[in-house]
Amino acid sequence: MRENTVKIGLMGLGTVGTGVVRIVQGHQEDLQKQTGLAIEIAKVLVKNAEKERNISLDDDILTTDPADLVENPDIDVIVEVIGGINPTKQYMLQALENGKHIVTANKDLMALHGAEILSKAQEKGCDVFYEASVGGGIPILRALVEGFSSDRITKMMGIVNGTTNYIMTKMSKEGADYAEVLKEAQELGYAESDPTADVEGHDAARKMAILGTLGFHVDMNLDDVDCEGISRVSAEDIAHAKQLGYEIKLLGIAQRDGELIDVSVQPTLVARSHPLASVNGVFNAVYVHGEAVGETMFYGPGAGELPTATAVVSDLVTVVKNKKLGVNGRGSVAPYKEKHLKTDDQIVSKYFLRLIVDDKRGVLAQITRILADHDVSLEQVLQQPYNDGKQSEIILVTHQASRKNIFDVRKLFEEIDSVYEVKSLYRVEGGEE
């Protein structure tokens, strides 16, 4: 019997883990038709084996001891959905040491220690797949690794965090304030009680590091990803952006220009005509531009029990098929390109700048002079009364400018007397060049 059954050790029985059990149990016949083998959940690591759960698993399957999985000679594949770095990383390395294949949804682990995990897997002839770590149910990693294997990716833009996209969508649709919408998202369970990882862009940065590594064939570190969150985006910013024909999204952008690359996560004005602008709520999307293929986009649910579990179990199907073929651990391609990161003077973008200034003669002239001195030219300028006419509000959309220059400009604006406040500075994507 053993040779016709693949035994799974499932780590974690939270939202995604429960989804994995449901799909493996519910789709048993289809999975067997596709892989030629039966898939059995043999052990499940939980924190509390006594807890009531609304799925059916034999009692002796649940365990609180990770060794029952990673040291268990009967287990072929570890499915890891507990998340976090410690002690998960140790479990993964131990499992690989014991020749077990891994399917994981852990973007933190893969973004921070992916190279180490994959190199251990290579050494041991094991598979490691992590489709669920980026874009939930969207099969974007397969698209990059297989679908575009013949192409050279030049740009990836991702709405890869559902929590922040829910918040930005709600702010845009209702004109509501950030704090108000965040509170509501927390009540609905769309945001954690400590929302830092989501709203400060750390979660998105991890996903962009994974996309950068796979899309550009370089060993991208999290430190290489410039990251800014949404907590300073105001209802007024969004209103102004809409007026100019843009939505504000927390957008990850990974770009390649010859050998030079740049990966960042920032609140970004996206032109309404761009397909990313209408990706709303908890949905995710990744736009991919390749030299040969041109523009493509992949859209779907970024999180949730069953969508994420679909990605996990589809990876499991690949591991099981590989096992049947005897080729586990032999399909992966390690990053083979040297990493050359762009410096701030090489990173160019259009920018949106909002200033509050004294309402007196010559201020706009002073501002445009500073911009011109830094090679920043303007596409749109809007000046209007602010604070009951005591001040003015100046909205600028620039043409392509270097990050260095725009940061120098901001610094100068913060120093001169006639500028009361630099309210916001965001990059702009998808309009006319």
* # chain residues binding a second copy, by CB under 8 A: 56
Minimum separation from the CB atom of position 33 to a second copy (A) = 5
Mode of pairing for the β-strands spanning 401-402 and 246-257 = unpaired
By the rule CB under 8 A, 318 interacts with a second copy: yes
Contact 37, 322 (CB under 8 A): no
Map the footprint of a second copy across residues 54-113, applying CB under 8 A.
none
51 belongs to the catalytic site: no
49/297 with CB nearer a second copy = 297
Given 166, 178, 190, 299, the residue binding a second copy (CB under 8 A): 299
Which residues on adjacent β-strands are paired with residue 266? 251
State the alpha helices, DSSP H only, in 326-423.
363-373, 403-415
DSSP string, 211-235: HHHHHHTS---GGGEEE--STT--H
Nearest C-alpha neighbor of 7 from the set 320, 275, 306 = 320
244 binds a second copy (CB under 8 A): no
Contact track, a second copy, 129-168, x by CB under 8 A: --x-----xxx--xx--xxxxxxx----------------
Strands 128-129, 101-104: pairing is: parallel
Q: Out of 121, 269, 309, 396, which residue is the one contacting a second copy (CB under 8 A)? A: 309
Q: Is 12 annotated as a binding residue?
A: yes
Q: 267 or 329: whose CB is closer to a second copy?
A: 329
Q: Is 313 in the site for a second copy (CB under 8 A)?
A: yes
Kindly tell me which residue out of 49, 61, 293, 422 binds a second copy, with binding defined by CB under 8 A: 293
Distance CA 254, CA 61 (A): 43
Q: Determine which one of 207, 323, 342, 350 is catalytic.
A: 207
Which residue number, 71 or 151, has a Cβ lying nearer to a second copy?
Answer: 151
Among 13, 5, 163, which residue's Cα sits nearest to residue 80?
13
Buried-exposed string 171-187: b where 16+ CB fall within 10 A, e elsewhere: bbeeebebeebbebbee
Angle formed at CA 82 by CA 81 and CA 85, multiple of 5 degrees: 115
Establish whether 433 is an annotated binding residue.
no
310 among annotated binding-site residues:
no
**Which residues of the chain form contacts with a second copy (CB under 8 A)?**
19, 23, 27, 30-31, 33-34, 131, 137-139, 142-143, 146-152, 217, 275, 278, 283, 290-301, 304, 306-307, 309-314, 316-318, 321, 325-327, 330-331, 333, 336
Residues involved in catalysis: 207
